[in-house]
Amino acid sequence: MYTGIRRGLALLVLMFASVSASALELKPTRVADDVYALVGPTGPRTYENYGLNTNLGFVVTGDGVVLIDSGATAQTGPLIAEAVASITDQPIRWVINTGGQDHRWLGNGWFREHGAEIIALERTVRTQREFAEQHMSGLARVLKERLDGTEPVYAERILSGDSAGLNLGGTEVELRWFGDAHFPGDAVVWLPEQRIAFTGDLVYVDRMLGILPWSDVVSWREAFHAFAGLEPESVVPGHGAVSDMAKVRRETGDYLDWLVSEVRAA
């Protein structure tokens, strides 16, 4: 009997640990003065983490906050805003979308309702429109009522071309497309003064790259090497810990090189 009880207690502990490990916890990680990352879990989307298994970030400027990506649902909006408010009382003025995957932009509506302007490249918005229904359906199966209130909301400031320079409160922000990656239209936010890159899904560390049927690996590889020419001092990847370029090259660049040169040939 006691053996059975011990096994039952052990199972409960494991179940609790699993739930705790997958719960959403947004703690700002300082990258540089006024630049922060919100590093999400590297595992799958779960009910507990609100589908937010990705990295976001924000920049505090002299005229408000630039938020990089808006999360997976309307219900993650207050959690992200609370994390920003733990650092600054400045309002979130801009939300920049780096990609078309659900957890990068389906929280747009909440931030628009709270006064933020949504900004994205035209090619990114095109991908969002193409995948919106599929992503909403997928999230509904996992998140259930935690998807309530979420609707696809697209940028009101849509930027044409492959890059654009922006300035808020004296802080220079560039939005750049180097080539299609995990999804078509994946873009990078580059802070030229600080030499910091928020790469969206161009870069993964601490986990395998997500190679999906619509992921163009050859383009992804070329985009990575073009991005690497920036020589950032710090990189906030789409997934994984804030890194330097040595780690980024090893875990994303070298893997893409191997896929194209070896696996493609095989």
Provide the terminal-to-terminal Cα distance of the chain, rounded to the nearest Å: 56
Residues 6+ positions from 201 with CB-CB distance below 8 Å: 98, 99, 101, 104, 181, 182, 183, 186, 210, 238, 239
Q: Which two tokens stand for residue 1?
A: 């009997």
**Among 12-16, 138-142, 151-155, 179-183, which is the least confidently predicted range?**
12-16
Predicted confidence (pLDDT) at residue 11 exceeds the cutoff of 50: no
Predicted confidence (pLDDT) at residue 161 exceeds the cutoff of 70: yes
CA-based angle 134:203:156, to the nearest 5?
Answer: 50
Q: How far apart are CA 114 and CA 241, in angstroms?
A: 29
Q: Which two tokens stand for residue 266?
A: 């095989």
Q: In 10 A of CB 187, how many CB atoms?
A: 31
Question: Tens digits of per-residue pLDDT, 142-153?
Answer: 999 999 999 999
Residues 6+ positions from 209 with CB-CB distance below 8 Å: 182, 220, 252, 255, 256
Question: Tens digits of per-residue pLDDT, 164-214?
Answer: 999 999 999 999 999 999 999 999 999 999 999 999 999 999 999 999 999
pLDDT in the model for residue 12: 39
Q: How far apart are CA 172 and CA 166, in angstroms?
A: 6
CA-based angle 36:37:43, to the nearest 5?
Answer: 170
Question: Tens digits of per-residue pLDDT, 224-265?
Answer: 999 999 999 999 999 999 999 999 999 999 999 999 999 888
pLDDT in the model for residue 4: 44
pLDDT in the model for residue 25: 79
Question: Tens digits of per-residue pLDDT, 118-127?
Answer: 999 999 999 9
The candidate with the shortest Cα–Cα distance to 204, out of 228, 236, 246, 234, is 236
Question: Tens digits of per-residue pLDDT, 33-52?
Answer: 999 999 999 999 999 999 99
Alpha helices in the chain (DSSP H): 2-22, 77-85, 102-105, 108-113, 122-143, 217-228, 245-248, 254-258
Contact indicator for 202, 222 with CB cutoff of 8 Å: no
Instruction: Identify the band that residue 24 occupies on the pLDDT scale cut at 50, 70 and 90.
Output: confident
pLDDT in the model for residue 23: 59
- How many Å is the Cα radius of gyration of the chain? 19
pLDDT in the model for residue 171: 98
Contact indicator for 54, 238 with CB cutoff of 8 Å: yes
Q: How far apart are CA 193 and CA 92, in angstroms?
A: 21
Contact indicator for 26, 39 with CB cutoff of 8 Å: no
Question: Tens digits of per-residue pLDDT, 73-93?
Answer: 999 999 999 999 999 999 999
The candidate with the shortest Cα–Cα distance to 163, out of 144, 153, 176, 179, is 176
